[in-house]
Amino acid sequence: MSSTPLSSTRRTSLGRLKERAATDRAALHEILDAGRICHLGVVIDGSPRVVPTGYGHSGDTLYLHGSTGASSLLAGPSQEICVTVTHVDGLVLARSLFHHSVNYRSAMIYGTPRRLTDPDEKLTGLRAITERLVPGQWDVARPPNPKELAATTVLALSLEEASVKVRQGPPGDDEEDYALDLWAGVLPVREVFGDPVPDPRLRPGIPAPAHVTSMVGPTAVPSEAAGQA
């Protein structure tokens, strides 16, 4: 994991709450490593559109994919996009309503993506996206055939211009409010995988593989996210 400082273009330098900007490239990769879904922002006819979609990353490149007919991806190659990955770690209950907040980790990546045309490079991107969703699936599932590959748009976006915002720890109340007779603290939030549900058309005698069953249970969450300062 690299420790190169993040970019500091105007929009990736936070205008406020600078203490929440972790200017470490390692933090960017940690956030991407912990997620499966991003929110892709594009501009269509001058207006913003925000679409949830899967992503993958490898080295300094983030990959997105979709149908060749997806308007959100068609808009991408000709112009800038913004990709945001967010983890909600806790609800922050302060004594004052004003200081209620959310503990979260968020990464935003800006850039003009490149539409991949080389089949090998497209497969590299699709592998990264699949392995982000369920590590281990790429090597067991039936690979894309040429027709499926042709029907899939894969975009590559440099991770160069990015920003990271993190809020962790207990509420930060106004000094006089600490005397109030009110509970305050953090309600931790985490993502949990339930037991795998077999496809109703699954052939008999095929158990869920270990790389799937091993995901069941709570996903990792940084200890400081639970509210410890």
159 Cβ neighbours under 8 A, 6+ residues apart:
28, 57, 60, 61, 62, 109
CB-nearer residue toward its own copies: 2 or 79: 79
78 Cβ neighbours under 8 A, 6+ residues apart:
none
Question: Residue 39: helix, strand or coil by DSSP?
Answer: strand
Sheet containing 101-111, strands listed edge to edge, beginning at the edge strand earlier in sequence: 47-54, 37-44, 81-93, 101-111, 161-167
Q: How far is the CB of 23 from its own copies (least distance, A)?
A: 18
Closest by CA position to 7, among listed 115, 158, 125, 156: 158
For the beta carbon of residue 144, count every other beta carbon within 10 angstroms.
16
> CA geometry: angle at 154 spanning 191 and 39, to 5°?
35
CA distance 226 to 93: 12
Distances in Å between the Cα of 110 and the Cα atoms of 79, 158, 219 are 11, 8, 27
Residue 146 dihedral angles phi and psi, to the nearest 5°:
-55, -40
Q: How far is the CB of 29 from its own copies (least distance, A)?
A: 19
Q: How far is the CB of 83 from its own copies (least distance, A)?
A: 7
Q: How far is the CB of 7 from its own copies (least distance, A)?
A: 14
Q: How far is the CB of 59 from its own copies (least distance, A)?
A: 21
Q: How far is the CB of 63 from its own copies (least distance, A)?
A: 14
